[in-house]
Amino acid sequence: MANTNFPLLFSPIRIGPIILPNRVFFPPWCFNWARKNGTLSNKLTDFYLDLAKGGCGLIITGCAAVSPDSLLYERSMKIYEKKHMRSFSKLCKKIISYGSIPGIQLMNFGRQSVTTWTKMPVYAPSAIPCPVKSKASIDPHYSIREMTMEDIERVKNDFVRSAILSVEAGFKFIQIHAANGFLLSEFISPYANKRTDHYGGSVRNRLRMVVEIIEGIKRAIGNEAALDIRITANEFVDGGIIPGHHEEIIPIIENAGVDMMNVSFTVSETTGVYFRRDIKTIGEAPEIDTANQLRGYSKKKLPFGYAGFVASLDTGERLLKEDKIDLIGLGRAQVADPFLVIKSKNGQPVDKCVWCHRCLFSFALKGEKQVFCTVNKKYKPRKAS
Ligand SMILES: Cc1cc2nc3c(=O)[nH]c(=O)nc-3n(C[C@H](O)[C@H](O)[C@H](O)COP(=O)(O)O)c2cc1C
Ligand code: SF4
């Protein structure tokens, strides 16, 4: 039954073949907390279960690597072998037992992969090094090559295989990561894709890889899980994707067969500035109008999700009431307090995120090993078990 304080947030929503119990989701985070073989650690399991016990309707775990030769962090989650699948199946069952939906983000890291972890050159639509990852201080052996047609076929199959393993594990929601300057968004973006074959050039050609992956996954999993895609509304780089491009992009993607879309922002080189902004100056949900603009381009009226500087359920409820978006992601706010949803619903005080950005920069920019949170001491650095 809808909660009287947050009637819209606590109303269920259908996403393709599944129904989410409420409109709050945890957006995918790479915590660098998995075991080195890519399976779940106790720490990662604890966190996701806290979110489920805390009432978050959809928990998108991730980022999970689909290809053995593409990795962002040493302890990223992986989902390309049976052992990975088995490690997630208990988690999925438990999340469901608490009334939440388990989701997973599938990704190949493209030119933002790190050779230190894979011991192989990174590959991308075009051999244009990532300005951030190619820095000697981040990846001293970084080298890059353009993908061959064999690479393209293999990576497409990697996504489909990982989607099948995800469904076998019990995930009910699969998100294809086609945002933030990772492989699939590199194909979409004229900034990173300079190919002259039928995977480059026109919008339709740049979307071909994504469309073929969506179609392949849909064929393989049918209605076993909802299929979502995360796209970048604005890369904030010269020659990159801007919101207006999506008038042409979104209808092509939705016709390929996704059930939902998630809106994200930036590529590697613009992420730092984007996240470091002061919430007091920019206000909550600063890019919600852009997300709303993209939502307006959906001819099928698909549900859209937004995450970014949302601090509370009050804000989430307001955004739904203003009909800006359909689902609200709270990342940092739920890392600071994974019980935020249930506490807010019951009128209890929440451990508030202080927007110090420590979680992001703890590993991304300062070379430290794992995400940790200033407020939530349960997630202070310790060895992943
Ligand atoms: C530490 C950290 C790791 C993240 N990892 C991912 C990721 O693996 N995949 C992804 O799509 N977004 C990732 N994001 C972005 C989040 O999904 C989300 O968009 C972001 O946290 C903004 O929401 P918030 O302001 O509520 O935290 C990450 C963000 C942070 C801070
Ligand atoms: S580290 Fe800081 S910004 Fe990140 S979740 Fe914790 S309190 Fe929020």
- Residues linked to residue 58 through DSSP beta bridges, in sequence order: 25, 101
Cα 63 to middle of ligand 2, angstroms: 19
What fold is seen in the domain 13-379? TIM Barrel (3.20.20)
Rounded to the nearest angstrom, the distance between the alpha carbon of 334 and the centre of ligand 2 is 9
**Cα-to-centroid distance, 226 and ligand 1 (Å):** 21
Alpha-carbon span 59 to 28, nearest angstrom: 8
List the residue whose alpha carbon is closest to atom 2 of ligand 2.
356
**Residue 15 CB–ligand 2 contact under 6 Å:** no
pTM summary value: 0.96
Q: Which of 338, 264, 359, 345 is nearest to 95 (CA)?
A: 338
- C-alpha–C-alpha distance, residues 385 and 40, integer Å: 9
What residue's CA is closest to ligand 1, atom 4? 29
- 11 Cβ neighbours under 8 A, 6+ residues apart: 2, 22, 23
Cβ of residue 364 lying under 6 Å from some atom of ligand 2:
no
Pairing verdict, β 18-20 and 13-15: antiparallel
Please report which ligand is nearest the Cα atom of 109. Answer: 1
Specify whether the CB–CB gap between 54 and 338 falls below 8 A: yes
Q: Ligand 1 site: residues with CB under 6 angstroms?
A: 27-30, 62-63, 105, 177, 179-180, 230, 264, 307-310, 329-333, 359-360, 371
Q: Is the CB of 2 under 6 A from ligand 2?
A: no
Instruction: State the alpha helices, DSSP H only, in 260-331.
Output: 268-276, 279-282, 288-296, 313-321
Instruction: Check whether the bond before 63 is cis (ω within 30° of 0).
Output: yes
Q: Is the CB of 359 under 6 A from ligand 2?
A: yes
Report whether residue 356 contacts ligand 2, using a CB cutoff of 6 Å: yes
337 alpha carbon to ligand 2 midpoint, in Å? Answer: 10
Question: So what's the pLDDT on residue 117?
Answer: 87
Token pair listed for 254? 């939705």
Q: 344 with 338: CB under 8 angstroms?
A: no
Classify residue 230 by its DSSP letter.
E
Rg of the Cα atoms in the chain? 19
- Which residue's alpha carbon is nearest to atom 6 within ligand 2? 373
pLDDT in 10s for each residue of the chain, 385 residues: 455 789 999 999 999 999 999 999 999 999 988 999 999 999 999 999 999 999 999 999 989 999 999 998 888 999 999 999 999 999 999 999 999 999 999 999 999 998 988 999 999 999 999 999 898 888 889 999 999 999 999 999 999 999 999 999 999 999 999 999 999 999 999 999 999 999 999 999 999 999 999 999 999 999 999 999 999 999 999 999 999 999 999 999 999 999 999 999 999 889 888 988 999 999 999 999 999 999 999 999 999 999 999 999 999 999 999 999 999 999 999 999 999 999 999 999 999 999 998 888 666 655 557 788 999 988 765 554 4
Encoded amino acid at 151, one letter: D
- Kindly report the protein residue whose alpha carbon is nearest to atom 7 of ligand 2: 353
**CB count in 10 Å sphere of residue 240:** 21
- Residue 359 Cα to ligand 2 midpoint, Å, equals 5
User: What pLDDT shows up at residue 62?
Assistant: 87
Out of 25, 26, 30, 276, mutate this one to test ligand 1's pocket (max ligand atoms within 8 Å of CB): namely 30
Atom of ligand 1 nearest to the CA of 177: 11
Q: Where along the chain do its domains lie?
A: 13-379
At 364 the pLDDT is 60
d(CA 29, CA 336): 13
Using CA positions, which residue lies closest to atom 8 of ligand 2? 353
Q: Closest ligand 2 atom to the C-alpha of 372? A: 1
